[in-house]
Structure 1
Amino acid sequence: MAKKMSEENKKKGRYILYSLVFLVLGFIFAFSYRTLGKDSGETSPSPTFQEEEQYRADLIVQKERNKELTDEMRSKQAAIREFEQSFSENEENHAVLVEEAKDLRLLLGVIPAVGPGVRVTLKDGDYDPIEQNPNDYIVHESHVLRVVNELKISGAQGIAINGQRISSNSYIKCTGPVIQIDGRTLPAPFVVEAIGDANILSSSLSLGGGVIDGLVHDNIEVTLEQLKVLKLPALRDES
């Protein structure tokens, strides 16, 4: 009887031990699950962290876009500067061409000319027709041509003789005491007017041994004037 009770007590003791063991194991499992679950929750990104990462990514993209726009703007600015420089050069070239065209029209005589210049008057010299040869004292086309050519070389922009505008194609022919310019007869005295720098034109004509000295040597009376304003008609302008 006592032996049987001892076995039953042993069985109850084992049951109690197993229960305690299972209880402890359950507690351990529950504690481990809580710990692991808590740790897992801490390692996963929070909504705030995700938003910050998204902002950083957007900021990087925006910076790259800004760099692209800055490079594009610099390229456009360089193109604009090149265009402005080209436009400026074209404007300058255009102004030069316009001025050259104007000078050419003045030289050709196709437009009236106004400006400072000089007036050279050539008169026949005094002579005794009985004792002296008249041809040695009258103005010939060669005398007029000397004056005209010197004025051209000195930069005259327009030249007229007795109000008759001349061009590079004009011809001068002497017929006794008169000369013909482009078929128009003009009597002495011959007044040669030229527009340009009056000081330069006057100085070139007055050089020692130059045009005026040569004319005086040929018994021609020469008068040289500098004028602030001269008006020359256009070629074949009869007004």
Structure 2
Amino acid sequence: MKRIKRNKGELAVVVVCAVVGFLLAAQLRSVKLSGAADATNATRLETLQNLYNELNDQKEGLESQVKQLESELALYREQAASGETGSEALKTELEQLEITAGLTDVEGPGVSIILEDSSSVNVTGDEADYLIHDNDILSVINELRSAGAEAISLNGERILATSEVRCTGAVVTVNGRRYAAPYVIFAIGDPDTLYSALTMRNGVVDVLSQWGITVKVSTSDQLLIPKYNGTVEYRYAKPASTDEGEEEVG
């Protein structure tokens, strides 16, 4: 009987040791995994911090560039208004160039357009066909330009020749900023002409309405369109040489 009890005791000790060993191994593995996760998170955090710092530096650089350009523009304005010969013509030309380049706030009569996604509950076919896309907005903008719009904005963003309007997921990006519906477009020009161009039969408003997209067009005696809030950098385009004797290519 004593021999049997001793064997059972030894077996119990072995089982306890095995359990303790298993628990220690599991604990060590957990510590290693936790350490690896912490290291990964630390690396990711450092990467995100570096990206943030780079973007912040770029933002500060662009803001500095805007201030410098505004300072130069103010100097040109002073020179144009100094009373020198031809200053009035120079001032008028400068104002026109500012409007064309989107460097100044503008106001005047025109139309406002509000675009909203279709609210239809029962749709057939692709549901995306009932949502506003970049080509829908571009159709409206092109129609406005064709009708003589002198300045256009989309959700407060001044539309320039270099402005992009494109879908990025469920939103539209313009001038590097993302906007979701509804989309509000302001256009300065002859209100009646702009309104007629948009609402004519089989025109852009008529086509969009066929998909249930809500388009509200209204005329206004006074609209305010802000200036372009950014910078335009030309890295490749430069004034063409006018040297005599240089042959034209093309």
The bucket for the TM-score relative to the shorter chain is 0.5 to 0.7
Structure 2 CA distance, aligned partners of 1:203 and 1:112?
Answer: 26
Structure 1 position 133 matched with structure 2 position 126? yes
State the match for 1:161 in structure 2. Answer: 154
Report the TM-score, using the length of structure 1 for normalisation: 0.55
Percent identity, aligned pairs only, is 35
Counterpart selection for 1:193 from 166, 186, 199: 186
Quote how far apart the aligned CAs of 1:98 are. 5.3
Quote how far apart the aligned CAs of 1:171 are. 0.5
RMSD: 2.3
Name the amino acid aligned to 1:222. V
Any idea what the Cα deviations from partners look like across 1:110-154, whole Å, max 9, x if unmatched? 110111110011100023388653201110000000111111111
Quote how far apart the aligned CAs of 1:102 are. 3.1
Structure 2 CA distance, aligned partners of 1:195 and 1:130?
Answer: 36
**For the Cα contact (< 8 Å) 2:111–2:195, is it kept in 1?**
yes
Name the amino acid aligned to 2:226. P
Quote how far apart the aligned CAs of 1:157 are. 1.3
Quote how far apart the aligned CAs of 1:167 are. 0.4
**For the Cα contact (< 8 Å) 2:157–2:175, is it kept in 1?**
no
Matches within 5 A, 1:176-215: 176-215=169-208
State the match for 2:9 in structure 1. Answer: none
Q: Secondary structure at the match of 2:207?
A: helix
Query: Which moves more between the two structures, 212-221 or 165-174?
Result: 212-221
Structure 2 CA distance, aligned partners of 1:184 and 1:232?
Answer: 17
Report the TM-score, using the length of structure 2 for normalisation: 0.53
In structure 2, runs of 5+ residues without a counterpart are: 1-84, 231-250
Structure 2 CA distance, aligned partners of 1:170 and 1:204?
Answer: 22
Structure 1 CA distance, aligned partners of 2:93 and 2:201?
Answer: 33
**For the Cα contact (< 8 Å) 2:120–2:212, is it kept in 1?**
no
State the match for 2:227 in structure 1. Answer: 234
Q: Which structure has the greater CA radius of gyration?
A: 1
Matches within 5 A, 1:1-239: 95=89, 99=92, 101-128=94-121, 133-236=126-229
Structure 2 CA distance, aligned partners of 1:161 and 1:183?
Answer: 12
Any idea what the Cα deviations from partners look like across 1:24-68, whole Å, max 9, x if unmatched? xxxxxxxxxxxxxxxxxxxxxxxxxxxxxxxxxxxxxxxxxxxxx
Query: Which moves more between the two structures, 172-181 or 115-124?
Result: 172-181
In structure 1, runs of 5+ residues without a counterpart are: 1-89
